[in-house]
Amino acid sequence: MKKLGVIFGGTSTEHDVSIMSAKSVIENLDNQKYEIYPIYIDKQGKWFKQSRAGEEIKEEIENVVQYLKKLDVIFPVLHGKYGEDGTIQGMLEILGIPYVGCKVLASSVGMDKAYTKIIFEKAKIPQAPYVYVQKKNNTYKIINDNLEEEKLDLEQIASKLKFPMFVKPANSGSSVGVKKVKNIEELEMAIQYASEYDRKILVEQGIDGKEVECAILDGGEKGEILASTVGEILSAEEFYSFDAKYNMPDSKTIVPANIEKEKIEEIRKLAAKAFNAIDGSGLSRVDFFIEKNTNKVYINEINTMPGFTKISMYPKLFEAIGISYTQLLDKLIESASI
């Protein structure tokens, strides 16, 4: 039997989401195949052994390196900073332990929305017009198309992008720090608000339309890249905020999305393209908008460690094409590498 470490929790804003994801993963793993080692990182960054995810009883791991080294493979079910951004991936590379999912570079690029956008631009994948802002020494600067600093001028942003706009921290997730703004005053406040989460901020033109997602499963060395069908988000709020994602039962997902077959094919192709553009491996969920008036597809973002509860979009999209949650986990673990 393979000794499988499942790492979850973590110091990011998505700590609780990670616990929910890991609980589902552990419950659905084939325990004839794996000896499961749940590993919990608390909000302060301390590591603990657990017998199952989410339980109260935990024992601190005294020597993390030694503990990890006795495992055959690791599934980092961590979202956000220090989990989805290449840092834990780098640690596992150095320790020589095979792990599930994207490598260091793809994780970092996927986590940082400013850099994801630069790569998507290069790959000519359509995305919403945007302005990249940075906070430096307590002043805000625009980072222009040549990646040079310019003075921040809100009027200039308002002349370049149409309202409503979305303001978001470059490194975040679960919609934490994201605001929809309708005028210059709100724009200014939202930039300040986003800067509480990250010194890098994106201002994007809002796309009015459907929000859809496509899951990628990469078989690794011997396998191929599989794009799932496309699912649609029906948000209970004006946009898919943290509450709409996790606290509002009126938010719904529809699989497959209520769109033409050709659109599904177009999105599957773009999702695989985006995954390759960041040099992804293992898995990702790629999110898009389909604009109401034009039917045009825009990429929103790529998540290298998408939500993984049984009702999350990632496993649902594969279930819809005949790959069960347990089979999906087997495939991901098979594709693990260093």
Ligand X SMILES: Nc1ncnc2c1ncn2[C@@H]1O[C@H](COP(=O)(O)OP(=O)(O)O)[C@@H](O)[C@H]1O
Applying CB under 6 A, which residues contact ligand X?
128, 166, 168, 172-175, 178, 204, 206-207, 211, 239-240, 287, 289, 300-301
For tokens 């209970």, what's the residue? 236
Query: CB of 292: closest distance to ligand X in angstroms?
Result: 11
CB nearer to ligand X: pick between 88 and 202 = 202
For residue 300, the minimal CB distance to ligand X (Å) is: 5
Which residue, 36 or 170, has its beta carbon nearer to ligand X? 170
Q: How far is the CB of 179 from ligand X (least distance, A)?
A: 9
CB of 167 to ligand X, least distance (A): 9
Nearer to ligand X, 142 or 178 (CB): 178
Closest-by-Cβ residue to ligand X is 240
- The distance of closest approach from Cβ of residue 202 to ligand X in the complex, given in angstroms and rounded to an integer, is 8
Please say which residue, 67 or 239, places its beta carbon nearer to ligand X. 239
Give the residue with the Cβ less far from ligand X, 210 or 331: 210
Please, which residue, 291 or 330, has the CB nearer to ligand X? Answer: 291
Smallest separation (angstroms) from ligand X to the CB of 51: 32
